[in-house]
Amino acid sequence: MCGIVGAVALRNITPILIEGLRRLEYRGYDSAGVAVLDDGNGIKRTRAMGKVAELEQALESNTANGHLGIAHTRWATHGKPSERNAHPHLSERLAVVHNGIIENHHSLRTRLQSQGYEFTSDTDTEVVAHLLAHHYSHKPDMLSALRSTLEELRGAYALGVIHQDEPSTLYCARMGSPLVIGEGSEEHFIASDPLALLQVTDQFIYLEEGDHARLTLNSCEIWNSQNRSMTYPVQRYAHAAHSLDKGEYRHFMLKEIYEQPRAVTDTLAGLLGEDRVLTAVLGPDAESRLKDVRNIHIVACGTSYHAGLVARYWLEEQTGLPCQVEVASEYRYRSVSVPEGTLLITLSQSGETADTLAALRYAKKQGYLGTLAICNVAGSSLVREADWRLLTHAGPEIGVASTKAFTTQLVALLWLTTALAQERDRAPDMIAANIRALRGLPKLIEQVLELDGVIENLAYSFANKHHALFLGRGTHYPIAMEGALKLKEISYIHAEAYAAGELKHGPLALVDEDMPVVSVAPSDSLLEKLKSNLQEVRARGGQLINFACERADLDNGDGITHIKLPWVYESISPIVYTIPLQLLSYHVALVKGTDVDKPRNLAKSVTVE
């Protein structure tokens, strides 16, 4: 999704902007551009379709050196991917980069055209550029022009603005799209994600919704939407810059799959006592708040939604609390009925997903007992706006296909289930067993990662397939959904997941020798039922691939492949069975030769609706 970087510094900022864009590449984009106030030559803009490397090439013939500039990676929404639609957009002597969507762009464009402004792109962003220029022609300075412009904009935006007349000033604003300010020594930066700036600073100020700011070498002035001056703490970004390297791995996705034992350990740090879970992380009055919960709603998107679906099984079984789970894009637009004492949980890797954030804001007006964000990014909008927060410590996740963020969300959710069970005096044995299982989880994941070679060989059998079916039951049904999502995201094979019991109500009609059927078969209370479902597949000539418990005793025979996993305690089994499915999709993508870390058309962080 779109990325913003900007800088005002004593040193030449072009390399900083380019490196920043490179660090945002993982979010997904189709074109890139940069505008630098080139010493003595006015604003120099360079844009290119495709990768940041292409922009760098274009810069070779249009070198720009300067101390003030903005840059952007674009993910097309209004207007197809093309150089003319790439940002920055110019008007008169100013340049603008924008993330988000200006909803009233149509009426603003018509008005500006009637005032004589000529549009050279199909984007909503160009409206902002002309509007700024228009207001600047009637106002004393850029700050006033920016304020008048913001008053007219409807929708979502993060903006970076420079003007030739103010050669040492960088302006920015945010509403509905993330933006941070980075502080250096006699320099300031902006970015849509702190990761873009870790090469120059680890000191960040997180803007609030509706804020705008004016940055120079030595000053950082921030105002809220009422133009009241605001002061926020400068926060140190905790993740080390080196974690953004692929290291010895061929892809970020593989690295992140292998980081899972560490990510789980970090997520659990300080959360487990001897035979009780430690709830202080949720705040001093956590125990009484957890006791007050009567009902749970979970809202999320994509992979995070699948984590919510697993949690519903855990929560209803282990705490007795009714739980419903919904995708945020649906939830935010319907009338929800909220029984008294309901806790709203939002799940998100990034904490910036537009629909999830909108769902949280909507929920805050619906009379919930409280809102809890389970999230991987400490300074994200979701974390800041929720009443409670529970951080997963997966570390930066760069691969678009989410892996370690998902398993750490599951860890956090099982921990929360255990905490709720504990406050309800549910069976101490179950609580102790969950704690033991969570403690042993990193080792188990390491063991399962050893199946990598076997799964790599298996991947070749998917090379010519166009469809695949994933089956699971109980908590492993959402894991089958996640396995199917991973496969389609990065190998572009159409994959669907079914609760195995539903097989004969439709999908069985699709099963033949060209349709691999992947089943998730742990040794749990539903295993016998699953075995019958698998026989239905074999009877129709379907190729079966079973990720099965070594104790499962499944039928052998032609067309059946078993990948054996160690026996695991039932609660953590969905977390363990996720690992081989991640490896399967990774290796199939390698066989198919797709762009594993940046699959086509997808974005890491979906900050527009």
Instruction: With H, G, I as helix, E, B as strand and everything else as coil, classify residue 423.
Output: helix
38's enclosing H/E stretch is strand 31-38
Among 20, 176, 302, 474, the residue binding ligand G6P under the rule CB under 6 A is 302
Residue 321 vs 360, nearer CB to ligand G6P = 360
Among 348, 422, 519, 585, the residue binding ligand G6P under the rule CB under 6 A is 348
Instruction: Let me know if 302 is exposed, middle or buried by CB neighbors in 10 A (0-12, 13-18, 19+).
Output: buried
Residue 346 vs 543, nearer CB to ligand G6P = 346
Neighbours of 41 (CB within 10 A): 12
From the list 31-39, 297-305, 330-338, 549-557, the region that binds ligand G6P by CB under 6 A is: 297-305
The per-residue b/e assignment along 352-381, b for 16 or more CB within 10 angstroms, e otherwise, is bbbbbbbbbebbeeeebbbbbbbbbbbbbb
Residue 56 vs 385, nearer CB to ligand G6P = 385
Residue 74 vs 604, nearer CB to ligand G6P = 604
Q: Using CB under 6 A, count the residues that bind ligand G6P.
A: 16
Among 31, 91, 125, 350, the residue binding ligand G6P under the rule CB under 6 A is 350
Q: What is the DSSP letter of 94?
A: E
**How far apart (Å, rounded) are the C-alpha atoms in residues 166 and 158?**
20
Q: How far is the CB of 392 from ligand G6P (least distance, A)?
A: 10
Q: Binding of ligand G6P at residue 598 (CB under 6 A)?
A: no
**How far apart (Å, rounded) are the C-alpha atoms in residues 201 and 241?**
10
Q: Binding of ligand G6P at residue 391 (CB under 6 A)?
A: no
Do the beta carbons of residue 13 and residue 59 sit within 8 Å? no
Among 67, 87, 404, 604, the residue binding ligand G6P under the rule CB under 6 A is 604
Intra-chain end-to-end CA distance of the chain, in Å:
11
Among 349, 418, 491, 573, the residue binding ligand G6P under the rule CB under 6 A is 349
Q: Binding of ligand G6P at residue 299 (CB under 6 A)?
A: no
Amino acid letter, 242 = H
Q: Binding of ligand G6P at residue 474 (CB under 6 A)?
A: no
Q: Binding of ligand G6P at residue 380 (CB under 6 A)?
A: no
From the list 130-138, 262-270, 583-591, 599-607, the region that binds ligand G6P by CB under 6 A is: 599-607
From the list 109-117, 248-256, 455-463, 601-609, the region that binds ligand G6P by CB under 6 A is: 601-609
Measured CA to CA in angstroms, residue 92 lies from 243, 298, 322 at distances of: 41, 48, 59
Asked if the bond preceding 88 is cis, omega within 30° of 0, the reply is yes
Closest CA to 99 of 89, 107, 108: 89
Say if strands 544-549 and 517-521 run parallel, antiparallel, or are unpaired. parallel
Q: Binding of ligand G6P at residue 356 (CB under 6 A)?
A: yes
**How far apart (Å, rounded) are the C-alpha atoms in residues 423 and 438?**
19
Q: Binding of ligand G6P at residue 408 (CB under 6 A)?
A: no
The residues that are catalytic are 2, 604
Site string for ligand G6P, 245-284 (x = CB under 6 A): ----------------------------------------
Do the beta carbons of residue 83 and residue 31 sit within 8 Å? yes
Q: Binding of ligand G6P at residue 301 (CB under 6 A)?
A: yes
Q: Binding of ligand G6P at residue 402 (CB under 6 A)?
A: yes
- If phi > 0 it is left, if psi is from -120 to 50 it is alpha, else beta; for residue 600 that is beta
Do the beta carbons of residue 527 and residue 473 sit within 8 Å? no
Looking from the CA of 44 toward its CB, the CA atoms found within 13 Å total: 19
Give CA 326 to chain center in angstroms: 17
Q: Binding of ligand G6P at residue 27 (CB under 6 A)?
A: no
Residue 349 vs 417, nearer CB to ligand G6P = 349
From the list 116-124, 308-316, 400-408, 572-580, the region that binds ligand G6P by CB under 6 A is: 400-408
Q: Binding of ligand G6P at residue 304 (CB under 6 A)?
A: yes
Q: Binding of ligand G6P at residue 478 (CB under 6 A)?
A: no
Residue 19 vs 259, nearer CB to ligand G6P = 259
Q: How far is the CB of 111 from ligand G6P (least distance, A)?
A: 35
From the list 79-87, 91-99, 399-407, 411-419, the region that binds ligand G6P by CB under 6 A is: 399-407
Q: Which residue of the chain is nearest ligand G6P when measured via CB?
A: 302
**How far apart (Å, rounded) are the C-alpha atoms in residues 408 and 376?**
9
Among 73, 85, 149, 303, the residue binding ligand G6P under the rule CB under 6 A is 303
Q: Binding of ligand G6P at residue 359 (CB under 6 A)?
A: no
Q: Binding of ligand G6P at residue 400 (CB under 6 A)?
A: yes
Residue 400 vs 448, nearer CB to ligand G6P = 400
Instruction: With H, G, I as helix, E, B as strand and everything else as coil, classify residue 187.
Output: strand
Question: Structure tokens of 269?
Answer: 């740090």
Give CA 337 to chain center in angstroms: 28
Instruction: Let me know if 241 is exposed, middle or buried by CB neighbors in 10 A (0-12, 13-18, 19+).
Output: middle
Q: Binding of ligand G6P at residue 389 (CB under 6 A)?
A: no
**How far apart (Å, rounded) are the C-alpha atoms in residues 564 and 594?**
28
| Binding residues for ligand G6P (CB under 6 A) | 301-304, 348-350, 353, 356, 400-402, 602, 604-606
